[in-house]
Amino acid sequence: MTISLLLRPLAVTGLVFAAAPILAHHSVVSVYDDSPQGRVLLEGTVKEMLGINPHSLLMVEVTNDAGEIEEWSFLTRPYTTLRRRWGFSEQTIEPGDSVRVAVSRAFDGSRKGSIRSLVLTDESRLFLFDSDEAARPEFAAMIEGARACDGLTSGDCLVVDGELVRPSSRVEIDRETPANAPVELSGLYAFNTRIPCDECEAPYTDEGRRRMEQWNVLTDDASINCGPETMPRIVSRNRPFEITQGNEEITIRYESWEVVRTIPLDTNKGRPPGAPNRPLGYSVGYWDGDTLVVETEGVTAGLISAAGQPTSDQTRTVERYRKIEGENLEVEVVVDDPINYTEPFLALHRKWQWAPDEQIFPWDCVPGIF
C-alpha cells in the first residue's frame, strides 16, 4: 500500500512534528470550538471541494445515526497554501471520494467545522493541518512512515512508501547589487518563522484594549470579504512575496490579495501635503548600513495581524529588512499608534526563507467564506 503524508513541519521533536495549526489563523477559535469537547471525527462522501482564498471549503455528505444524509461544510487553508505546502491540485480531492475528517465544530451548533486533519479513507493520503492530530490512534499506521521526517525542520515533507523525499535544493542565482545599495534583496521569499521576542508584547492603551476585546472576526475583518489589506497586516501574512530592487525604488509584490507596494528610496517622496489616508499609507525607504529601513504613515485604520490587534489612522510603522544566514531575510516591524498603544513596540519579528523555486499564485479571493 502506498502511504503519502504531506505536511509542512515547523518543528520536530522525537515523533512529534508540528504543522502550523489552522486555528491560529483569523482567530478561528472565536467561531469554532477547539476544546476537546468540540472536536469530532466524521466520515462521509465528498460533494464538492472549493479551492479558493482566503479559505478553501470542503462539502461532505455524512450519514447520521438515524441513517439520514446531512451536508457538512468544512473550512480549511487558502488554496494557495494547500497547493504550495501539501501539493493539492484539482484532482487531489474529487466528488465521490470517501474521507475521514477531524474538525473543530462551530459554536453555534451548525453543520460546519474547521479542519484539523483529513484522510482519504483508502489510506492513500493523510493531510495533517494540526500537530495534535498526529496523536490520533486512528492515524497510527499512516503516520508510521512520517518518522522519516525527524530532524527536517523546514521545507515540505513528503513520505512515499515510508521513504522520505526531501525538498528540492536551493537554486543559486547570480544577482547584481544596485550601485547605491550595500546588499541585494531582490528575490522571492516564503515560509516565515517567528523569531522569539520579549519586547513584542503589545502595550495597550485603554482604548486599544477595548477595541481588541470587542473585535469580532466575522464583522470587523475586512479581508474575509476580500476587502483591502492595510499596513502593517500585509507584512504579517505567511505567504510568499517578491522584492524587486532598483536604484530609485523598491517594489514588493505579495501573493496575499495581490498587493503591490512601490517604495521610493528618497525620503523627500513620502506623503504629499494634504494627501488622504489610504490602506497601505505612504512609504519611503533608505539604507542604514546593510539594513533596508521603510517608514510608513498615512494609513487607514486596520489590523496588525489576524489576532485582531487594532491600528488607527494615526499609525506609523518602521520596517527593517536585513539578510541573515546567507540569503534569508529578517523582518522587523515597529508600530507607533498613540490611540491604541502607550508607546512604540516591536509588533513583528520574523525570518523568511529565500525561495527562488517558489512562485506567486493568483489570489482569486471569494468573499464571505468563514
Residue 218, C-alpha cell as written in the block: 466575522
Min mean pLDDT across 170-174, 234-238, 291-295, 324-328 is at 170-174
- Provide the whole-model pTM: 0.67
CA distances from 56 to 51, 78, 238, 269, 284 (A): 5, 5, 16, 40, 36
Do 221 and 332 lie in a common domain? yes
37 — pLDDT class (breaks 50, 70, 90): confident
Q: Number of structural domains, the chain?
A: 2
Contact 315, 335 (CB under 8 A): yes
148 — pLDDT class (breaks 50, 70, 90): very low
Residue numbers of the domain that contains 265: 187-354
Do 159 and 37 lie in a common domain? yes
What is the overall mean pLDDT for the chain?
A: 78
Contact 27, 19 (CB under 8 A): no
Do 222 and 144 lie in a common domain? no
At 233-267, the pLDDT tens digits run: 999 888 899 999 998 999 999 998 889 999 999 98
Do 156 and 194 lie in a common domain? no
In a domain, 56, yes or no: yes
At 168-210, the pLDDT tens digits run: 333 333 456 666 678 899 999 987 788 877 767 899 999 999 9
Contact 332, 166 (CB under 8 A): no
pLDDT at 359 over 90: no
Do 154 and 196 lie in a common domain? no
Q: Pick 166 or 192 by higher pLDDT.
A: 192
Min mean pLDDT across 159-168, 188-197, 231-240, 274-283 is at 159-168
φ, ψ (nearest 5 deg) of residue 214: -90, -5
In a domain, 363, yes or no: no
CA distances from 182 to 185, 247, 285, 287, 306 (A): 10, 11, 14, 8, 34
In a domain, 367, yes or no: no
Interstrand relation of 98-105 and 69-76 (parallel, antiparallel or unpaired): unpaired
CA-nearest of 50, 141, 41 to 93 is: 50
Q: Is 33 helix (H, G, I), strand (E, B) or coil?
A: coil
In a domain, 48, yes or no: yes
Do 251 and 157 lie in a common domain? no
pLDDT at 150 over 90: no
In a domain, 366, yes or no: no
At 72-101, the pLDDT tens digits run: 999 888 888 888 776 777 788 889 999 888
Specify the CATH number for the domain of residue 271. 2.40.128
Specify the CATH number for the domain of residue 83. 2.40.50.140
Q: Is 159 helix (H, G, I), strand (E, B) or coil?
A: strand
CA-nearest of 236, 355, 345, 334 to 291 is: 334
> pLDDT value at position 10?
23
Do 88 and 133 lie in a common domain? yes
pLDDT at 146 over 60: no
Contact 39, 116 (CB under 8 A): yes
Do 156 and 264 lie in a common domain? no
Interstrand relation of 69-76 and 112-120 (parallel, antiparallel or unpaired): parallel
Query: DSSP assignment of 49-72, as one string?
Result: EE--BS-EEEEEEEE-TTS-EEEE
pLDDT at 218 over 50: yes
In a domain, 209, yes or no: yes
> pLDDT value at position 89?
78
Do 331 and 212 lie in a common domain? yes
Q: Where are the alpha helices (DSSP H) in 191-257?
A: 206-214, 217-220, 233-236
Q: Where are the alpha helices (DSSP H) in the chain?
A: 79-86, 140-143, 206-214, 217-220, 233-236
Do 129 and 82 lie in a common domain? yes
CA distances from 136 to 96, 132, 144, 309 (A): 25, 8, 12, 34
Q: Pick 69 or 149 by higher pLDDT.
A: 69
Do 194 and 295 lie in a common domain? yes
- E strand or H helix at 112: strand 112-120
At 103-124, the pLDDT tens digits run: 889 988 899 988 887 777 665 5
The one-letter amino acid at 243? I
Q: String of b and e for 122-142 (b: at least 16 CB within 10 Å)?
A: eeebbbbbbbbbbebeebeeb
Q: How far apart are CA 170 and CA 357, in angstroms?
A: 7
Do 15 and 151 lie in a common domain? yes
Contact 75, 370 (CB under 8 A): yes
> pLDDT value at position 22?
34
Q: Where are the alpha helices (DSSP H) in 260-343?
A: none
In a domain, 170, yes or no: no
Q: String of b and e for 21-50 (b: at least 16 CB within 10 Å)?
A: bbbebbbbbebbbbeeebbeebebebbebe
Q: How far apart are CA 194 and CA 211, in angstroms?
A: 25
In a domain, 31, yes or no: yes
